[in-house]
């Protein structure tokens, strides 16, 4: 599995369960920045949006991994869908940073 430098540049590539990634890819096809991110975040420059999405997604992933009762799968999917859409990676390919967990 090779990471994609577009998303991976923040720290490391994202390795997530296949169901989470596939669901997020479906959501990314219907993504609208203003609707899904809200006014404050959607007005930010694209580089800041991606950085904030990466941070939010990593927080979701941490909660998922520790099996926290505060984990919200829907929010996690929203963060991943927005991240996929913002980085323009809606197709599955071997070079994506959003990799399927095996």
First CA to last CA across the chain, in angstroms?
A: 11
63-77 pLDDT, tens digit per residue, is 999 999 999 999 999
| Residue numbers of the chain with a pLDDT score lower than 50 | 1-10, 90-97, 100-102
**Number of folded domains in the chain?**
1
pTM of the model: 0.73
How confident is the model at residue 14, as a pLDDT?
72
User: How far apart (Å, rounded) are the C-alpha atoms in residues 83 and 54?
Assistant: 7
**Domain of 79?**
5-101
How confident is the model at residue 98, as a pLDDT?
52
Residue in the block written with tokens 């998303």: 7
How confident is the model at residue 76, as a pLDDT?
95
């Amino acid at each position: 599995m090779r990471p994609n430098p577009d998303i991976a540049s923040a720290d490391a590539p994202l390795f997530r369960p296949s169901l989470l990634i596939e669901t997020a890819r479906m959501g990314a096809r219907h993504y609208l920045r203003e609707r899904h991110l809200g006014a404050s975040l959607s007005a930010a420059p694209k580089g800041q949006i991606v950085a904030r999405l990466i941070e939010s997604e990593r927080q979701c992933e941490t909660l998922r991994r520790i099996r926290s009762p505060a984990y919200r799968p829907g929010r996690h999917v929203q963060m991943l869908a927005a991240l996929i859409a913002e980085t323009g990676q809606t197709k599955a390919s071997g070079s994506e940073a959003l990799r399927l967990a095996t």
